[in-house]
């Protein structure tokens, strides 16, 4: 691989953070051929996102980001919220994630909680296998929940979730059950729901749902 290559998860990590004008300018000039390793489908998804991204000003990107992720609970990029809500169990989950970061030499700082998806993506890109991948995969159902919400709104940000999506190889039964239950509940309540769930030993447990 090209020593100057940009890891796709590192790039998606940057793109899923609040658009800083300086970072936007640098990213918009990035040669996508330097992003490796990627599968064909991932490259197509990233190209589709960049086609939209490069046509926007930093101000437009900032507004789009806020509208997409800051006002809809189901699209929260803090992944343990989807699993545990604000329960004590979430605090334990956050401590476990922070410990994994520190063991790999990554300091997320105090500006965001350690379950912030961009931090997880950066960790997965830099940590030795299988630690980075395992941490990300344990939270794949939450990632897919955000992706489904973005897809239902036709949001361009969904392309970034397509880049990291390999869920058919990770906890397929739990994800299948999650999709069936969330679809049934939203049909019943006739409104988008905010779901909380947990997965233990590959078994899905729904905790609660609310509009």
- Say which residue, 92 or 196, is predicted with more confidence: 92
**Beta-carbon contacts of residue 200 (< 8 Å; ≥ 6 apart):** none
Q: What is the pTM of this model?
A: 0.74
Report the pLDDT averaged over residues 17-41.
88
Average pLDDT, the chain: 82
**pLDDT of the residue at 147:** 93
- Say which residue, 117 or 190, is predicted with more confidence: 117
Tell which residue, 126, 62, 66, 65, has the closest CA to residue 100: 126
- Three-state secondary structure call for residue 208: strand
Q: Confidence band (pLDDT; 50, 70, 90) for 168?
A: very low
- For tokens 């970061």, the residue is 101
Report the pLDDT averaged over residues 88-98.
84
How far apart are the C-alpha atoms of 28 and 25, rounded to whole Å? 5
Residue 33 has pLDDT above 50, yes or no: yes
Query: Across-strand partners of 195?
Result: 209
C-beta atoms surrounding 152 within 10 Å: 12
Backbone angles phi, psi at 77, to 5 degrees: -85, 5
Inter-residue contact 61 to 19 (CB < 8 Å): yes
**pLDDT of the residue at 196:** 62
């Amino acid at each position: 691989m090209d020593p100057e290559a940009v890891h796709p998860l590192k790039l998606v990590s940057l793109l899923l953070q609040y658009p800083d004008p300086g970072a936007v300018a640098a990213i918009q000039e990035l040669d996508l051929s330097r992003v490796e390793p990627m599968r064909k489908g991932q490259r197509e998804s990233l190209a589709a996102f960049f086609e939209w991204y490069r046509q926007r000003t930093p101000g437009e990107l900032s507004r789009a980001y806020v509208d997409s992720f800051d006002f809809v609970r189901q699209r929260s990029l803090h992944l343990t919220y989807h699993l545990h809500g604000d329960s004590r169990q979430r605090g334990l989950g956050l401590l476990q994630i922070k410990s994994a970061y520190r063991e790999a030499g990554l300091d997320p700082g105090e500006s965001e909680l350690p379950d912030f998806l961009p931090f997880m993506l950066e960790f997965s890109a830099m940590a030795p296998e299988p630690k980075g991948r395992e941490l990300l995969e344990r939270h794949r159902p939450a990632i897919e929940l955000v992706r489904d919400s973005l897809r239902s709104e036709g949001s361009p940000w969904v392309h970034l979730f397509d880049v990291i999506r390999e869920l058919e190889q990770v906890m397929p039964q739990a994800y299948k059950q999650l999709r069936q239950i969330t679809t049934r509940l939203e049909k019943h309540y006739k409104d988008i729901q905010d779901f909380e769930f947990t997965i233990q030993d590959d078994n899905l447990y729904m905790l609660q749902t609310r509009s």
